[in-house]
A and B are shown apart, each in its own frame.
Chain A
Amino acid sequence: MTDVERLFRTYNAALVRYLTRRLGDRDWAEEVAQETFVRALRQTSIENERAWLFAVATNLVRDEARKDMRRRKHLALLAEQERDEVVEPEETTLERAQEAAMARKAVDALAERDRLALLMREEGLDYNEIAEALQLSPGSVGTTLSRARRRLVESYETLQKSREEREKNAAS
């Protein structure tokens, strides 16, 4: 097994999940993950593999975002249109779909650094790896994560409450 094969087998699942959560599109996530491994292929040596892979993937996403904000806006529109057409492979209940939509909103409301740190942590990166990938000081990772978690949960709960109120109003 080559080194890249090993890297791929070890980290692909986590990387794709991280990117999917970040981007909201699995195909795009897989594409960025593939590009990340292609870049790893060209490295002679990588000191901290996981931090390196997550950092490169994050930068790829960021570069692309910077390059073409307009495209993303356009795509968000298309995504909305397609959502009506896409037949989900698994049966998605209304409840789950609503939860996913609220989660997306709550995650999008976070500051980019907070969001990335949290998503990386969820994939098991330790504080040093997160610090390396995001170029933070290791001492600030705890503060970043605590802020990200609190804000995420609070945003989500706010969304949940307003939904419940809407439903209550609709019922009465």
Chain B
Amino acid sequence: MQHLDEGTIHSWLDGALSADEAARVEAHVKECPQCAAAVAEARGFIAASSRILTALDNAPRGVIPAAAPGRRVDPIVWRIAATVMVVAAGTLVVFRNGVGTAKTDQAAVQTVPTASSVAGPEISMRDEGTGTTGAPATPATTTAKPSPTAPARALSRLSATEKRGAVGEVAASDQVARSRNVPAAPPAAQTFAQTSGAAAMDAENEQPQALKVVGTPRTIGAKVTLYEVARGDTVTLTEPTALQLQSSVVTGVAAGKAAAAAPMRRADAAAVSAPPVASANAQASRVESANGMTTITWLDPVTGNMLRLSGRMPAARLQEIRLRIERERAAAAAAAAKKDR
């Protein structure tokens, strides 16, 4: 018998040979020192490669995003944005405590032109807050951007400031703002309900049957939620979280409360950045189907985020699930709003 080739030796060691072949190989290895050495070497390779592969088992999680990679923002951008936010907030507090006129507020806004879109809503909130605090005789409509959500904005700003754990002067100025804004709470709620449309109305009625969340894969730049709609049948909801990070940065003192306030604040930001879209396109959606996978993209009226829901099912069924998710989200937002008040 000629010498064994490496493949045969591995097949033999892996138990992949027939009984006949195995017996023949075994007999040869007993007589042939060269092949016996090759077998020993092969055993070494088998053991060593197993050991090497075991080292791969502690792979990190969350390296690859589950969805929306195109919308990922470099983490450094978040860090810069967060820093700008903190600096902007700090600067504004200082200015407000200094003189407390509309003039200083303007100066403060100019101090942080780089705050851009992330810091934008927060700065506007400051503006509005001062408008009502500093000059109660002047109606809010005299501000540059009259917005139906102005009271809601003032409210959410309050909660954000509370969470910041501010003491002393900041807290005192908050007290003033709060006392002025509390009467405005009911209209705020009304506006909120209007903005969030029918979904919110439904949410007021009865707690809908809860969808089961089976997973929330970690991603950057988007919140991904897997809902189980039937046994073994899941849909994926993707929501960009540009402003969620902002709230966690600003309100890090009490994360739980901040999370509750988050939907409200995001609704706010949406109203600031794109008011016409939020009202006109609230119910518009786009449905795509490819390879049995249906995807619905729509603008969430509550948060102003583009939401994406995908699942392997007909569009009609997915729409139905979308409505259920919307209802739940609206209910959560309404609950958060109540808590805020």
Q: Chain A interface (Cβ within 8 Å of chain B)?
A: 2, 4, 17, 20-21, 23-29, 31, 34, 37-38, 41, 71, 74-75, 78-79, 81-83, 85-86, 88, 90, 92, 96, 99-100, 102-104, 106-107, 118-119, 121-122, 126-127, 140-150, 152-153, 156
Contacts and interface: CB of A to CB of B under 8 A. Distances in A.
Contacts of B98: none
A141 B11 contact: yes
Contacts of A143: 5-7, 10
Please indicate which of the listed interface residues B14, B16, B45, B59 has the most CB atoms of chain A within 10 Å of its own CB: B59
B42 A127 contact: no
Contacts of B65: 75
A152 B49 contact: yes
Contacts, number: 144
Interface in B170-190: none
A147 B15 CA distance: 17
A103 B72 CA distance: 29
30 contacts: A20-B57, A21-B53, A24-B56, A25-B59, A25-B62, A26-B60, A27-B61, A27-B217, A27-B218, A28-B64, A38-B232, A38-B234, A41-B232, A74-B69, A75-B63, A82-B63, A83-B63, A86-B61, A86-B62, A100-B56, A107-B53, A122-B49, A140-B7, A142-B9, A142-B11, A142-B14, A146-B7, A149-B10, A149-B42, A149-B49
A90 B58 contact: yes
Interface of B: 5-11, 14-16, 42, 44-46, 48-50, 52-53, 55-66, 69, 72, 75, 217-218, 231-232, 234, 312
A13 B45 CA distance: 25
B59 A24 contact: yes
B10 A156 contact: no
A146 B7 CA distance: 6
B57 A21 contact: yes
Contact of B69 (A25, A31, A75): A75
A78 B58 contact: no
